[in-house]
Chain A
Amino acid sequence: MNATPHLDSDEILERVFPADDRLALVPGHLASCVECQERVATLREAWLLDKGAVSGAVDDLPASFWEAQAASTMAAVRAGAASAEVRVFPSRVRGILRHPALAFSSLAAALLLVGGLSIVGTRGAAPSAALPLVVSVERTPALASDASDDELLVSVDRVLEDSSLGGLVVEETL
């Protein structure tokens, strides 16, 4: 009678799927326990069947399959080689073009940004008309800094005086 405990699941797996190139030592229990031997044998058999099945499923494919696969692969390779010679877009641009939604949203965002900047630009252009009065004065760095601060404040005041934007701010505040 075998007095040592049965192999646990890890030990059974280690018999069939060792995590090392070297063969693991065979536990003494396995030599005399028919039940554990059967568990190891069943797992090994199932794995070998699986291994044979996946390998056989590919190896049994007819020669015509491999010829067709090679022809199709070479056609793709040749097409790739031809397109590489007449490449129009750099790879990053081609990446964007593969995603039309991304391209359109990027375009829309860019247009909005340009539109917004041009609106701010035209509103901010009015105070700059008064600048020549100050430009003729010889400026020290400190004066120049003060003058640009003044210009900024004037621009901000004018923007805030704008009725639509002012109304919006008030409404949101309320």
Chain B
Amino acid sequence: MSVPALAPVLAFPERNGAPFHERHLGFVTEDDRARKRERETEILARVVAGDVDAFEYFVVTYQKRITRFVYTLLRDPADADGVAQDVFVKAFRALPDFKGQSAFETWLTRIAINAVRDHIRRRRPVVSFSELRADADEDGPDLPAAFDPADGTSPERDLLSRDIRRRIAEALVTLSPRQRAVFVMKHYEEKSIAEIGEATGLDEGTIKSHLFRAARKLRERLEDLR
């Protein structure tokens, strides 16, 4: 007799069987990383050998992280969902080329950056992002209540905060896909310059230059806020 409810637990022990400190305290030790990498190498070998279903481990493990990353870059939930799925399909196709020189997650991030870039290039928006944001703001926040700036502070400050957020989002979409990815990885995902370099293949100087240009775009958008 099968026990369907237990199947995911057995298939993906990391999701439910992660160490206490990782699940509750939010940090990962070097040993955890090494164990995870070893396990992923093992699963990758199974996938490459023809066990397509084993690939689900990677989808389930990284779907939230990749969707969040793509959504931060695109700011469109429907697009983010589609592109995130596309990232995994592309990763599966490119799996024979994965040499294991970087962590699978880093490699996946690189595919995500390319997928977002392709998506932005393909997309020919009829309505600009800024117009959509303005509409969204008029209709009220499309954000979870916990992040609604209307809670707590003064109305003037709420308004200013909302305006700055809109301008940050507008500045982000004027950046090139690569600049945008670098900026989001640094300031939204809190990656180090070295980690960004590993994921993008860019050197430190180029990354800093992208960050500087991104900040300059922000400055242009925020110039009159004094």
Contact = CB atoms under 8 A, between A and B. Distances in A.
A17 B187 contact: yes
B64 A66 contact: yes
Contacts of A14: 215
B75 interface: yes
Interface stretch (A49-57, A118-126, A130-138, A156-164): A49-57
A51 B60 contact: no
B63 A69 contact: yes
A51 B208 CA distance: 21
B89 A58 contact: no
Interface stretch (B21-29, B119-127, B164-172): B164-172
A19 B209 CA distance: 8
A22 to B, nearest CB: 10
Query: By DSSP majority rule, is chain B's interface helix, strand, loop, or mixed?
Result: helix
B55 to A, nearest CB: 6
Query: By DSSP majority rule, is chain A's interface helix, strand, loop, or mixed?
Result: helix
B111 interface: no
Given A43-B222, A77-B89, A21 B192 contact: yes
B144 interface: yes
By size class, the interface of chain B is: 35 or more
A20 B188 contact: no
B160 interface: yes
Given A13-B218, A50-B165, A57 B143 contact: yes
A80 B143 contact: no
Interface in B46-78: 52-53, 55-56, 59-60, 63-64, 67-68, 71-72, 75, 77
B39 interface: no
Interface in A68-120: 69-70, 72-74, 76-78, 80-81, 84
B202 interface: no
Interface stretch (B30-38, B80-88, B100-108): B80-88
A64 interface: no
Contact of B165 (A53, A76, A77): A53
5 contacts: A20-B208, A56-B147, A66-B60, A70-B56, A84-B93
Interface of A: 9-10, 13-14, 17, 19-21, 39, 42-43, 45-47, 49-60, 66, 69-70, 72-74, 76-78, 80-81, 84
